[in-house]
Structure 1
């Protein structure tokens, strides 16, 4: 599910660099098999996490656990750092997504200093630099825990948002199954109409758009990062035929899978 290298290891990536190779890298719905922290230091936009869309601005820290679907706008004026904790991270981290709006200058500076220290150790060849980076990562975990406690419990999401969160979790698990919105809705015990209404309420998009976005993101990733034949990619994503996959891909992306791969 990753669009970054070495997913088993701790790393820092500048937010603008995440969009290298196309804004679809960050804007389309996807999930990582590792936890991620987004720290925005400049600019603003919208981010969708677990099917709920919110605005973000400078000094917003957004923690996204492994396996949680998300996507966010990243315009030319947006800067910040993404922390990828790695699959083998031993630091205690939150179990649920959280969106922190850091208003205290000291708290923002503290996070910046910690991230600088992690980056410095990761780039170092000094003895025990990896252990030092993990020690600073532990302080980042403490910072998160304290800021979440300071912010207090978020308002309990309403029934619509809870349903959409369940839908995105189910979607991330089974988007390769070939199931459509009707099948996902049935598994959730609701009608497709109700599910779509709740998705529009939570993130401004219908349920089908989230499904197609997730599928096409994965298709683009496989086309760009592997040499798998188009037919195999179509089959792995649950499409009934390569021709149907090509039509769906071209409708969403504006070019055929082969043309996209050639340009990538």
Structure 2
């Protein structure tokens, strides 16, 4: 049965987890031995930052393709299907960390975490000569990280951890400026929202009712809805349904599971009900989405 592969690092079986919470390597180090192509795959619990310093290529993030040029940053959350095709002159780095390590680094700014729940593509360009803005800070953090990564010096791990925090904050600021969200309020509200997102990831296949989620958080369903509306602009149920739809779309595009099998893996006892649910939210039947979506996926080709 063909499904999109799940790896720890590309080409490393997911049953062979990384020993460290943080891993980094140059883009040529792994892509060069794979003919400059990283085929579509995903990670179950790893978050990645990819930075192209020079050269280029193309990135596939779920069902969308993006150009990769010099000074482009891409973030890849857990379970996002992603693949890359690079030009042979590419230079850059890939940083891989556990989702737990990501949460640890951003523990002081929990309102930034929602910005990393979806893939992000930022061709921020060359900020040289410009005023000190978010692009300048991001470029500086990346260059310092690359220099420390290639050095052998005292307290290297601590330096990389500190620089990575600065890098993530720089990306979050850029994402906010691009209008992905607005600045989010911190405190108890943000913590409840973050905890709700984690519960959704763990339970979305179980079709738990809203009262169950709220009860685990120690708040009422009304409070949970108010928090979700405030921080995401959608109700709690809409966010749960959205997570189901995202997973259904990934299975339809990247696996050969039939509709009944996909429905079952997503917790639907009845494939017909799943089809109605999907069509209501997407505007297409699962079969039509699969047919049209696969036709739009980029064909493998040499990067220019």
TM normalised by structure 1 equals 0.60
Query: How far, CA to CA, are the matches of 1:86 and 1:46 in structure 2?
Result: 25
Q: What is the CA RMSD across the aligned residues, in angstroms?
A: 3.5
Give the Å deviation of 1:88.
Answer: 4.0
Other-structure match for 1:2: 8
Query: How far, CA to CA, are the matches of 1:75 and 1:38 in structure 2?
Result: 15
Query: How far, CA to CA, are the matches of 1:147 and 1:57 in structure 2?
Result: 17
Aligned residues: 193
**1:164–1:198 CA contact under 8 A, matched in 2:** no
Give the Å deviation of 1:183.
Answer: 3.9
Residue 59 of structure 2 is aligned to residue 47 of structure 1: yes
Other-structure match for 2:176: 149
Match of 1:84 among 71, 89, 96: 96
Query: How far, CA to CA, are the matches of 1:131 and 1:100 in structure 2?
Result: 27
2:9 partner SS: coil
Other-structure match for 2:122: 100
Other-structure match for 2:232: none
**1:40–1:81 CA contact under 8 A, matched in 2:** yes
**1:59–1:101 CA contact under 8 A, matched in 2:** yes
Query: How far, CA to CA, are the matches of 2:86 and 2:93 in structure 1?
Result: 12
**1:51–1:164 CA contact under 8 A, matched in 2:** no
Match of 2:38 among 27, 30, 36: 27
Q: Measured at CA, do residues 46 and 167 of structure 1 come closer, stay the same or move farther in structure 2, by a change above 3 Å?
A: farther
Q: Measured at CA, do residues 13 and 184 of structure 1 come closer, stay the same or move farther in structure 2, by a change above 3 Å?
A: same
Match of 1:111 among 138, 151, 156: 138
**1:8–1:87 CA contact under 8 A, matched in 2:** no
Query: How far, CA to CA, are the matches of 1:147 and 1:140 in structure 2?
Result: 11
> CA deviation digits over 1:31-63, x for unaligned, max 9?
123111111122332211012112222222111
Query: How far, CA to CA, are the matches of 2:22 and 2:178 in structure 1?
Result: 27
Give the Å deviation of 1:142.
Answer: 0.8
Give the Å deviation of 1:7.
Answer: 5.8
1:68 partner SS: coil
Q: Measured at CA, do residues 73 and 43 of structure 1 come closer, stay the same or move farther in structure 2, by a change above 3 Å?
A: same
Query: How far, CA to CA, are the matches of 1:144 and 1:102 in structure 2?
Result: 10
Other-structure match for 2:199: none
Q: Measured at CA, do residues 7 and 140 of structure 1 come closer, stay the same or move farther in structure 2, by a change above 3 Å?
A: farther
Other-structure match for 2:165: 138
Other-structure match for 2:82: 70
Query: How far, CA to CA, are the matches of 1:132 and 1:81 in structure 2?
Result: 17
- After superposition, where does 1:94-243 map in structure 2 within 5 Å? 94-103=116-125, 105=127, 107=134, 110-122=137-149, 123-126=151-154, 128-153=155-180, 165-167=246-248, 169-170=250-251, 179-180=257-258, 183-184=261-262, 187=274, 189=278, 190-201=285-296, 203-204=297-298
Q: Measured at CA, do residues 56 and 119 of structure 1 come closer, stay the same or move farther in structure 2, by a change above 3 Å?
A: closer
